[in-house]
Amino acid sequence: MATQAERGQRFRALHERDRAFIIPNPWDAGTARMLAQLGFEALATTSAGYAFSRGTVDGAVGRDAMMAHVAEMVASTELPVSADLENGFGDSPEDAAETIRMGAAHGLAGGSIEDATGDESDPIYTLELAKERIHAAAETARSLPFTFTLTARAENYLHGRPDLKGTILRLQAYQEAGADVLYAPGLTSKEEIAAVVQSVDRPVNVLAGMPAMRLSLAELSAIGVKRVSTGSALARAALGAFLLSAREMGIHGTFGFVEGAAANSRDVVPLLEAWHKSAHEK
C-alpha cells in the first residue's frame, strides 16, 4: 500500500507535467476501484455525487459524514485522492483550515476549498474573507509532513455571476494566498479558459462535466490546462440511466433496460475482480 507521502508526491507531480490529465470523480468505493482499474492516475470525490447516494442534495452532508466518506475513498484505492471539501464546512478561515487538517488526517493527497457561502441570497464570500480562508487553508497544508495539494475554487459562474474579470481577480488572490491549483467551475469557452490560464501562475483545473463544455482533453491541454475533473457528471450519468429504467417499469411495465444492464455487468465484474486480485497480491 502506498504511503500518504508517496501519494501526495505522485499527485503533485501530475500537475507538473507538460500535458493535462483527467481526474474523474467517483462517488463510492466501487466506482473508485473501477476507475483505478481503467488506468486513471488520481481520483477526486464529488460532494454532489456523494450527497445523491445518501438521498440528499449537495451541501447537505455535514463535515463528519464527509470525512467518513473521504476515509472510505482513500482506503478503496492506491491512487492519490483529492476531495471536494465544499466551503470548508464553515464561514471562518479557521473552519477552512480545520477541514484541510481533518482531510489530511483521513488520508487525502489534496482537497479544494470554494468561495461559495451556501446562502443563495448572498452566494459568494467577499474577496477579502475568501482570500483569508484560502490563506488559512494553505498555511495548514504547508504545515503537514507531506505534500498536500490545495485547490482554490472561484464559484461565480455556478451562481449566476459569469464575470470573467472578477473571477480572474479572485483566482489571482487565491494564488497569492497560497493555493497550489486554481479552479473556476462553469467556464466553458476556449477563450475564457485561455484567459484564466494566461492570468495565473498555478496549474488550472477545468470542469468537463457540464453540457456546454465541449472541449476535449487534447484541446484543453493545448490551452495550458493541467487538470480536468468531471464533478458530479459520472454520478448524474449513472442516476440518469437508473431513472430511465425505473420510469420504463413504472410507466410502461416493461423491462427493456435489462438487456443493456446485462451487457454492462460483463464489464463491471471483471474490473472488480481485477481490483480484488491486485489488492490481494500486494
> 138-164: per-residue pLDDT in tens?
999 999 999 999 999 999 999 999 999
User: At which residue does the C-alpha cell 472488480 appear?
Assistant: 272
To 5 degrees, how large is the angle CA 117–CA 123–CA 124?
75
Are 164 and 188 contacting, i.e. CB atoms less than 8 angstroms apart? no
Closest alpha carbon to 33 in 72, 85, 89, 67: 72
The string of pLDDT tens digits covering residues 222-260 is 999 999 999 999 999 999 999 999 999 999 999 999 988
Q: Which of 126, 180, 123 is nearest to 151 (CA)?
A: 180
Alpha carbon distance 104, 82 (integer Å): 10
pTM (2 decimals)? 0.96
Residue 153's nearest CA partner among 223, 92, 202 is 202
What is the structure's pLDDT at 262?
64
CA gyration radius, the chain: 19
**Predicted local distance difference test score (pLDDT) of residue 34:** 96
Q: Are 178 and 135 in contact (CB under 8 A)?
A: yes
